[in-house]
């Protein structure tokens, strides 16, 4: 019996925020699928280098140190990835910050607002702009099977669809990524570049650990998810990989909710 494989052999992917959590699992899955992967990190050098070595080393996987808070930062990261592998077929925008302390809008510091916008949105503009320029240079007419020539996946959130009280800065950026997905899909699908979005809910990562592991807050979070638990990082990485394979060649501009059904009951 022959199984169905999700294969990206010969492709090059850039994954932002790849040293931990959802990003690290995405790096692992993409290399397992045959892609060469460049991923960014900001501070965790040892962890990033260990992950790159685990996933095949310099010929298959490289870690790139890059702050991402401005459009110029995004453009620089794409340039660095191209310097390593010479092409770019997939961009996964996974990095982002979620200030954990509640900040009512009347008390939210302007510095927090600007920082969240800069990391979660401004840098994405530079990343997407440079990635699309490169993909357009590489674009060939789609095959008879309709296989796309490039893929972009933006990681949004349930907060981008239903908002999040006391975290307006974060919700605004994630909602903007959904609008960006739809705009880019209309613009780029005719050129063979597919743009889609994955919207996780609560996932067990370092960023969310303070809440999901809290003795009072953790059970409340789980109770608000129809499947009864938070997600695992690999459960987000899998759908991201799928969207970048030929099996998803007819999907464009989609917001794929991977949140245990939480977005429907919030």
Whether 88 and 61 have beta carbons less than 8 Å apart is answered as no
- The residues annotated with a catalytic role in the active site are 170
Show the beta-strand stretches assigned E in the chain: 12-15, 36-41, 61-65, 90-93, 150-155, 193-200, 255-258
Distance, in Å, from the CA atom of 134 to the CA atom of 23, rounded to the nearest integer, reads: 22
Distance, in Å, from the CA atom of 197 to the CA atom of 179, rounded to the nearest integer, reads: 10
Distance, in Å, from the CA atom of 178 to the CA atom of 190, rounded to the nearest integer, reads: 19
Nearest to 259 by CA among 130, 158, 113, 127: 158
Helix, strand, coil share of the chain (percent; to 5): 45, 15, 40
Structure tokens at 200: 């996780």
Q: Rounded to the nearest 5 degrees, what angle is found at the Cα of 24, between the Cα atoms of 238 and 86?
A: 90
């Amino acid at each position: 019996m022959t199984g169905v494989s999700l294969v990206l052999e010969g492709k090059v992917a850039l994954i932002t925020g790849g040293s931990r959590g959802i990003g690290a699992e995405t790096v692992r899955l993409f290399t397992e699928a045959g892609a060469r992967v460049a991923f960014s990190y900001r501070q965790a050098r040892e962890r990033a280098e260990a992950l790159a070595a685990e996933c095949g080393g310099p010929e298959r996987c490289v870690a790139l140190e890059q702050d991402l808070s401005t459009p110029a930062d995004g453009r620089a990261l794409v340039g660095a990835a191209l310097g390593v592998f010479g092409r770019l077929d997939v961009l996964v925008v996974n990095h982002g910050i979620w200030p954990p302390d509640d900040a009512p809008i009347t008390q939210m510091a302007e510095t927090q607002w600007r920082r969240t916008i800069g990391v979660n949105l401004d840098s994405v503009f530079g990343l997407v702009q440079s990635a699309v320029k490169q993909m357009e240079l590489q674009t060939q007419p789609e095959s008879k099977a309709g296989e796309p020539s490039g893929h972009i996946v933006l990681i949004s959130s349930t907060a981008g669809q239903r908002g999040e009280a006391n975290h307006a800065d974060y919700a605004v950026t994630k909602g903007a990524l959904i609008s960006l997905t739809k705009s880019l899909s209309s613009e780029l699908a005719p050129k063979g570049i597919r743009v889609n979005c994955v919207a996780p809910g609560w996932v067990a990562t370092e960023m969310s650990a303070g809440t999901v592991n809290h003795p009072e807050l953790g059970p409340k979070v789980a109770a608000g998810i129809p499947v009864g638990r938070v997600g695992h990082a690999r459960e987000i990485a899998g759908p991201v990989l799928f969207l970048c394979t030929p099996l998803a060649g007819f999907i464009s501009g989609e917001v794929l909710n991977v949140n245990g059904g939480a977005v429907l009951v919030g």
